[in-house]
Structure 1
């Protein structure tokens, strides 16, 4: 099995949003590694799920993939995407008391930031994506909206430009709100986000340490995405009681890039177990197709 960094180009966004070339439940095609799956997918306990071979545009699994639901901290993928289009990586953002209070008051995960610290945008992207810091999300939105209201407007404008017709953001962190998206839209966003080399690097980083300086404390941020241990390239976890356990992930198997989204999963471990089962299944499908294509029986 070969594992490498192969990110689907932006031109595949249209295919992903349109539904790809075939459903996993459709009749098998001519065989080979890019065909419709020939065996049934494993059981998926997530309420909504979507898995697509972004290399071919072939849907491997679709379960309520266009239903609008809350997506928790998967929201932060769009926050990172918007920041990358607004900010220089070496620009410095000062953390305020409001940033810290926002995370505490919302009961959200935080990156341990303190008022008065000054951190670069690059560092705050790690604080945003790895420990899923709502404090980092608030600080970035305040700076690059400027203000949360304008920043959320930028998020929704970006969603529209990407063709995410079933997505609406209400905040930059995914705390309970009237925001929503779909598994299919989040797969398309994952493809667009990981086409950005900075986001791609951040998303696949297991841990980020920054040393103490005169303007900020020492920080260690660990990635909540344990699928990285299985060779995944990212992307993001999320959880609220309203949304359940969520996961968007990208992985390369046998030269094919697979993009998956699980929403409303029943538990933390379950989302990763389901993702692993799906990746094992598609790898088996690819191996079987290659064997058949080579005339080996």
Structure 2
């Protein structure tokens, strides 16, 4: 099995500047502006004296030096922050060619029943997996058989300090464990996933230890977890390991049901909040999906794992480090069409593991 890849640094920010105006033009503009401002200020003072009031500066009386600074002819320097590269981009994995022209740098399709590999692209590369992490979170909660009707409370400990991500589950929100599990799997709710980990026997640290122990038990030797949401880029795995995780999670009906749900409504205080799936394919009648999870952080790119019935077979699909908001969905469609074509399941030489 290929060794885990390690990351590198990012390039510095690029600065763009507009062309500067000539010195003589700026001097003329400043002189003209100063005269105009001085005239305006004088008129304002005279009017104030006529009204018997002290000559205070009005909002419209702008000092000449301020006007000169906001002049549209003044050069402006704008700092542009470059897009943060994913680990796969830094490793050069996107340069790997494949006959399907996938936008994901890592891809794997495995027969669920026979473990036959139908498609493989960089499937041993170890990368951040973002919210695919929540599939392991759901698996542990389910196997611990903790009561799903127990009410859990979102606290400040569940607020994301890693990425500063937004959540509609405010501190103090109370939902049942089952609702938290539903939102974590379907809508990838980070605070819900963290709350599930905190309420595990022994707390969050015990939960993370259990995540890694379960990965080891399943034979996921390229996998490491440091928290239950996937916000940390230190949660890493390979496509081959994730296929094992999908197969294990699929054995639990509740994980199949909740992960493939399209919508959910939960009561938060006096309000009913609507949540939706992060995977549009579950609404597509062309797909028969038994279990799924999406993920995204900049270090991981767009990720997707699924169990689906394609070409008359139960298959497991893993797509990691896809560039572009909808490219992982496009890649899944390319694979589906390929599997339903006359070429399936014959692999091009470039796609063989």
**TM-score, scaled to structure 2:** 0.65
The match for 1:236 among 287, 293, 301 is: 293
Q: Deviations over 1:254-282 (max 9, x none)?
A: 43111111111101210000011101211
Match of 2:148 among 64, 68, 89: 89
Q: Residue 163 of structure 2 contacts residue 231 of structure 2 at CA under 8 Å; is this kept in 1? A: yes
> How far 1:253 sits from its partner (Å)?
2.3
Shift of 1:233: 2.8
Tell me how far apart the structure 1 counterparts of residues 257 and 101 of structure 2 sit (CA, whole Å): 31
**8 A Cα contact 2:255 2:291, kept in partner:** no
**Given the alignment, which residue of 12, 18, 42 partners 2:100?**
42
Contact 1:93 1:139 in 2 (8 A): yes
Question: d(CA) in 1 for partners of 2:233 and 2:202?
Answer: 20
What RMSD, in angstroms, separates the aligned Cα atoms of the two structures? Answer: 2.3
Pairs within 5 Å for 1:206-285: 206-211=262-267, 217-230=271-284, 231=287, 232-285=289-342
**For residue 188 of structure 1, what is the aligned residue in structure 2?**
244
Change (3 A) 1:56 1:216: farther
Give the secondary-structure state (helix, strand or coil) at the position aligned to 1:209. strand
Task: Please name the residue that 1:9 is paired with.
Answer: none
Task: Say how many residue pairs are matched.
Answer: 246
The alpha-carbon deviation at position 85 of structure 1 amounts to 1.7
Structure 1 segments unaligned to the other structure (5+ residues): 1-16, 18-39, 290-297
* Structure 1 residue 172 displacement after superposition: 0.5
Judge conservation of contact 1:41–1:61 (CA < 8 Å) in 2.
Answer: no
Which structure ranks higher in relative contact order (CA pairs < 8 Å, sequence separation ≥ 6)?
Answer: 1
Q: Indicate if the aligned counterparts of 1:248 and 1:260 stay in contact, CA closer than 8 A.
A: yes
Q: TM-score, normalised by structure 1?
A: 0.76
Counterparts of 1:222 and 1:55, CA distance in 2: 31
2:234 matches 1:175: no
Match of 1:121 among 177, 183, 187: 177
Asked if the contact 1:183/1:262 (under 8 Å) is kept, the reply is: yes
Name the structure 1 match of 2:157: 98
Check conservation: 1:118, 1:216, Cα contact below 8 A: no
Taking the aligned partners of 2:336 and 2:298, their CA distance within structure 1 comes to 27
Give the Cα separation in 2 of the matches to 1:190 and 1:180.
15
Q: Secondary structure at the match of 1:108?
A: coil
